[in-house]
Amino acid sequence: MPQVTKELSLGACSALRLDLEEFAREMRLAAAVKWYEQQGISQSKAAEIAGLSRAEFLGALHRYGVSPFQYTAEEVIAEVRGG
């Protein structure tokens, strides 16, 4: 599996009170949630990036205050009405 390496100050980890491994996991999750929120990736791809099951990713979306639905109410109504 490809790896991405980035140097970070320890201050970033200590500010969040996380060790390096926890910090890396949180970064992956935050990126996946944001990309999902921006409709750039699907739930299943976001869960894969975050290293979570889809059900766990849905829980993370709730924790971050992000809707699991990528449709607006208007889009759903328009689709139900046939266009």
Structural domains of the chain, with CATH: 10-80 (1.10.10)
- C-alpha 25/C-alpha 18 separation (Å) is 10
**Confidence tier at 9 by pLDDT (50, 70, 90):** confident
Residues 63-76: tens digit of each pLDDT: 999 999 888 788 88
Encode pLDDT of 24-42 as tens digits. Answer: 899 999 999 999 999 999 9
Residue 13 · residue 23 · CB < 8 Å: yes
CA angle 25, 29, 32 (to 5 degrees): 140
